[in-house]
A and B are shown apart, each in its own frame.
Chain A
Amino acid sequence: MTTTTPHPTTLFEKLWNAHLVAPESDTAPAVLYIDLHLIHEVTSPQAFAELEARGLSPRRPDLTKGTLDHSTPTLPAGNDGRLPYYTAEAEHQVDTLRRNCERHGVELFDFDSDYRGIVHVIGPELGLTQPGQTIVCGDSHTATHGAFGALAFGIGTSEVGHVLATQCLLQRRAKTLAINVEGELAPGVGAKDLILHVIGEIGVNGGTGHVIEYRGSTIRALSMDERMTVCNMSIEAGARAGLIAPDQVTYDYLAKTPRAPRGADWDQAVARWSQFKTDDGATFDREVHIDASAIKPTLTWGTHPGQVAAIDAHLPQGRDADEAKALAYMGFDGGAAMAGRPVDVVFVGSCTNSRLSDLRQAAEVLRGRHVHPRVRMLVVPGSEQVKRDAEAEGIDAIVRAAGAEWREPGCSMCIAMNGDLVGAGQLAVSTSNRNFEGRQGKGARTLLASPLTAAACAVAGHVVDPRAYLDPAFNPSIKEVA
C-alpha cells in the first residue's frame, strides 16, 4: 500500500501505483488490478458470452455488482404485473443480465431490490464506491466515482470480459491534468454550470489522454452530489477519468452508506483513504485555472458538450462548418440570443443530475408553480433510494402538482433507449450529459443545463435564467426542502 513516497506524487499516481500487478514497459501495458466492477445490461451480455465460450467464469464475482438501468422502463408495472418494456429486445437484454448474474454468483440490484438504479448513482449511495479504489464499468460516465478519490473509468465490452475473467485490465498510464477552480459560485449557479463552463473552456477534446484532478477552494466547497456532477462529465472533455481527493465531506457522506466499513474498520479505512491526495509540490502534465465567481448559469447550444454559452450570451455566428452544422441541426440562427427560445421537453434525471439534491433544486423552482402548457416535463430519480428519499420529502407531490411526470428510476431520456424519447425537431432542456445529434431520440435537439435551469425553463416554456425564479436569499447548495 501507499506509504511515504520518495518524491511528491499526484493522487492519480498514488492510485495507479497502488494497483499495479505488473508495471508497463515499452512492449507491454501495465496490468492494473480492479477493486470494483459495475455491470449493467447493455454492455455486458457479449462479455459473458465470450467468457462462457472460453469456458471461464468470473474471478471475483464478489467484487462485481450489477444493476438494471439503461433499457428499463420508467413507468411502473401494469395490472398484470408486467413491466412495460419498450421492445422485446430490451426485455431480453435485462433477462440476459439476470441470468448471467445468477449463473455466476454476481449480486444484482434487480427490480425487487431497494437499491436498483443508475449504475453511477447506486455505487456511491451504497458505499460500494470508496476512496483509493480502482472502479470500472462498461460505461463512459464511470468517471462519476472519481468524486470519491477513486480511479474510475469506462471500458469497452471486451474489457468487461477481461475484468470478469482476471479482475485486471491492460492499461497505459494516462497523463495528468489539474483543473484548479477558485472563488465562490454565485447563487443560482451550481456544479453543472461549473462543469459545462470548464468543458467550454478546455474543449470537448481538451482532456483526451489525461486524467483530470479537480482542485481548489470551489471544489472543496462542493457537496458529494455536486462533486459527482463535476466528475461525471470529465468524459465530455475527452478525459477518461476525473478525480477529487477525499476529505471530511467524503467521509461524512460514506459514513451514512449501508456498505461502508463500520467501527474499528471505519477508522482504519479513513486513515488509509486520507493518504489519497496530491502531495504538495507534485507536478501535473498540464494545469488549467478557472475563476468560479465569473460563471453564470450555462447551457449547451450545439451538438457536443463543448458548445456552451452563458444564459445571457448570444449564439456564435456559425462561421466555421462545424458550428454552422450544429446551428442548423438545432434550428438556431447564428448570433441569436440564447434565452427566449421555446422549449418542448424538460428532463431532470441521468447520472449527472438525478440525486436528491438535484431533485430538491428542481422542486424548489416548481413548488407552487406550473409547468408551461407547451412543455412535457419528466423527473426521473437516479435510484430507488433517491426516489424513496425524495418522496419522503414530498418532492414527488410538488413535481406532480406542477404538472410534471414523476417516474421510476433509470437512465430514461438521457439515452432514450427505453422509449422515453424527445420527438424529432423538439427542443429539450435536459440535465443529462450529452447533446449529440439524436441522443434523446432521432432528430431531437438538446440543451444541457442544471436542474435549476431545467425547471425554470419548464415553468417559463422557454429558455430562461433560473435566477428569475429564485428567492433572492436562496442558496441552492444549502437550501433544503422542508
Chain B
Amino acid sequence: MSASVHAASADAGFVELISRTAVLRERNIDTDQIIPARFLTTTERKGLGRFAFNDWRYLADGSPNPEFELNKPHNAGAAILVAGRNFGCGSSREHAPWALTDLGLRAVISSEIADIFRSNSLKNGLLPIVVAQDLLDELLDRPGIELRIDVRTRTLHLPDGRAVEFPLDAFAQTCLIEGVDQLGYLLRQIDAIHHFEQRREAARNTTQEQPHAR
C-alpha cells in the first residue's frame, strides 16, 4: 500500500496524494465499462467497488481475470489511475466515480476526461487530471511510477523532479481541500434563488403567461 492522502479535515478534503500509478491504456473507456448498467439497480451509493470494471475484471466463471491490469498484484493499492484519452465518456451515472473511489482510487489522469464524469468525480473526492497527450503517452508507457499530486498548487510531481501544472477550477480546488460540500454552498444562495423566482413570476404576470399552468 503506497498511497497516502493528506487531508485537511477528517472527511472529504485532500491536499496531497502520493501513490504509484495503475495504467489502463484503452482510449474512450466508457461508463458502461467502469460500472455495467446491470449493477445500477442499487439504491445505495456504497460498496460499488466490487462491480468496478466488472466485465474486464472477471472471467466468465466469475474468477478474477489475471490479464486485467488492475488485478495484477503490483497494482494493488494504487490510488492513481492513468487511462487513455477520453476517459469516462457515456452516461451520467455517478455510480462510476462511486465505484472507482470504493476501489481505492483518488485520482484519474488522462488527456481528455468526459464532462459529466469529471463533474461527478469532483463531488466525490476523485480528482480528474487532464494532461497533455505527450505526457499522457509517457505515463501510459511507465506504469507503476510514483507520482505526487499537490492539490494546493495544482501540480503533478514526477519521480525525475519535473513538476507539471494541471487545470483545476478554483471552486473545485477549494471544495477538495476544505471538504466543502456543494449543496451546502448552494443552500447559502437561497435568498438569491428566491429573488430570481420572484422576478420571473412578476415578469410572467405582467404578460399573463403561465408556462407551467395545468
B43→A92 contact, CB < 8 A: yes
B203→A208 contact, CB < 8 A: no
A155→B116 contact, CB < 8 A: yes
* From B91, B119, B171, residue with most partner A Cβ within 10 Å: B91
Q: Which residue of A lies closest to B28 (CB)?
A: A304
A222: CB under 8 A from chain B?
no
A163-179 contacts to B, CB under 8 A, are 165-168, 170, 172
**A268 to B207 Cα, complex, angstroms:** 7
Residues of B within 8 A of A62 (CB): 212
One digit per residue, 1 when the CB lies within 8 angstroms of any chain B CB and 0 when it does not, for chain A 134-170 equals 0000111000000000000011111101100111101
* From A156, A168, A437, residue with most partner B Cβ within 10 Å: A156
Chain B interface residue count, CB cutoff 8 Å, equals 60
B196→A156 contact, CB < 8 A: no
A204→B89 contact, CB < 8 A: yes
A106: CB under 8 A from chain B?
no
A322→B92 contact, CB < 8 A: no
* From A162, A259, A269, residue with most partner B Cβ within 10 Å: A162
A283: CB under 8 A from chain B?
no
A27: CB under 8 A from chain B?
yes
A63: CB under 8 A from chain B?
yes
B13-48 contacts to A, CB under 8 A, are 25-28, 30, 32-33, 36-38, 40-45
Cross-interface CB contact of A156 among B33, B85, B119, cutoff 8 Å? B119
B192→A22 contact, CB < 8 A: yes
One digit per residue, 1 when the CB lies within 8 angstroms of any chain B CB and 0 when it does not, for chain A 49-82 equals 1100010100100110000001100000000000
Q: Which residue of B lies closest to A165 (CB)?
A: B183
**A194 to B60 Cα, complex, angstroms:** 37
Residues of B within 8 A of A161 (CB): 183
B116→A240 contact, CB < 8 A: yes
Given contacts A264-B208, A268-B209, contact A167 B193 (CB under 8 A): yes
A227: CB under 8 A from chain B?
no
Residues of A within 8 A of B33 (CB): 436-438
B210→A261 contact, CB < 8 A: yes
Residues of A within 8 A of B169 (CB): 29, 172
Given contacts A31-B192, A205-B86, A269-B211, contact A170 B40 (CB under 8 A): no
B186: CB under 8 A from chain A?
yes
A165→B187 contact, CB < 8 A: yes
B77: CB under 8 A from chain A?
no
One digit per residue, 1 when the CB lies within 8 angstroms of any chain A CB and 0 when it does not, for chain B 163-194 equals 00000011100100000001101110110110
Binding site for A on B (CB under 8 A): 25-28, 30, 32-33, 36-38, 40-45, 55, 84-86, 89-95, 112, 114-116, 119-120, 123-124, 169-171, 174, 182-183, 185-187, 189-190, 192-193, 196-197, 200, 203, 207-214
Q: Which 6 pairs from chain A and chain B are nearest by CB? A: A154-B92, A156-B120, A45-B43, A156-B94, A268-B209, A436-B32
Q: Can you list 27 A-B pairs with a CB-CB distance of less than 8 A?
A: A1-B200, A26-B170, A43-B92, A43-B93, A56-B187, A87-B41, A140-B91, A156-B119, A157-B45, A166-B193, A170-B182, A205-B89, A205-B112, A208-B115, A235-B90, A240-B115, A261-B209, A265-B208, A265-B211, A268-B208, A304-B30, A417-B37, A434-B91, A437-B55, A438-B55, A439-B37, A442-B38
